[in-house]
Amino acid sequence: NAGVTQTPKFQVLKTGQSMTLQCAQDMNHNSMYWYRQDPGMGLRLIYYSASEGTTDKGEVPNGYNVSRLNKREFSLRLESAAPSQTSVYFCASSEAGRSNQPQHFGDGTRLSIL
């Protein structure tokens, strides 16, 4: 069972470069999420997709865009990377965000912006 798969696992970018983080889930979940984890901050929601065809801003959306390509895939794009976006990025999915279903997480993408 793959669950939630994120690619790449590691990436180093230069300031101003663009990058798309990929996420796919095989659990037929309706809702998908992108988080960033920074030291001492926990996980902060960047964007979420309640269902296929919808996306909404989370707590820290500035500098990011997302695409819900289909029910399985939810990508996160950095158009012009900045050092402040150095972080570990986690994608997650759940059956339905409005229920109390727990989220299933990928193993993360470690992104460094120089």
Partner 1 sequence: DQQVKQNSPSLSVQEGRISILNCDYTNSMFDYFLWYKKYPAEGPTFLISISSIKDKNEDGRFTVFLNKSAKHLSLHIVPSQPGDSAVYFCAAHTGGFKTIFGAGTRLFVKA
Does residue 87 bind partner 1 (CB under 8 A)? no
Binder among 56, 70, 82, 112 for partner 1 (CB under 8 A):
56
- Residue 71 CA to residue 59 CA, distance in Å, equals 23
Q: Which is nearer to partner 1, 85 or 93 (CB)?
A: 93
The answer to whether the beta carbons of residues 33 and 61 sit under 8 Å apart is no
Phi and psi angles of residue 85, each rounded to the nearest 5 degrees, phi first: -90, 5
Q: Which is nearer to partner 1, 13 or 33 (CB)?
A: 33
Does residue 63 bind partner 1 (CB under 8 A)? no
Tokens (6 digits) for 90: 């986690």
Does residue 93 bind partner 1 (CB under 8 A)? no
Does residue 24 bind partner 1 (CB under 8 A)? no
> In Å, how far are 3, 23, 24, 66 from 69, measured between CA atoms?
17, 10, 10, 9
> Which spans of this chain sit near partner 1 (rule: CB under 8 A)?
4, 31, 33, 35, 40-45, 48, 50, 56, 58-59, 90, 92, 97-98, 100, 102-108
